[in-house]
Amino acid sequence: MATPGTSADARVAIVTGGSGGIGREVSRRLAADGMSVLVAYAGNPDTADQVAKLIVDEGGTASTFGADVADETQVADLFDATERLYGGVDVVVHTAGIMLLSPLATFELADLDRMHRINIRGTFVVNQQAARRVRPGGAIINFSSSVVKLGFESYTGYAATKGAVDAMTLILARELRGRDITVNAVAPGPTATDLFLDGKDQATIDRLANLAPLQRLGGPPDIAEAVSFLAGPARWVNGQIIYVNGGVI
State which amino acid sits at residue 76.
A
Catalytic residue among 41, 86, 155, 158: 158
By the 10 Å C-beta count (0-12 exposed, 13-18 middle, 19+ buried), 14 is classed as buried
Distance (Å) of CA 149 to CA 7, 152, 166, 188, 248: 42, 9, 11, 11, 10
Contacts of range 20-23, beta carbons closer than 8 Å, 24 or more positions apart: 20/95, 20/96, 20/193, 20/194, 20/195, 21/191, 21/193, 21/194, 21/195, 21/220, 22/95, 22/143, 22/188, 22/191, 22/193, 22/220, 22/223, 22/224, 23/93, 23/95, 23/96
The angle, 0 to 180 degrees and rounded to 10, between the axes of the packed helices 21-32 and 45-57 is 30
158 catalytic, yes or no?
A: yes
The angle, 0 to 180 degrees and rounded to 10, between the axes of the packed helices 122-133 and 156-175 is 20
Active site amino acids: 158
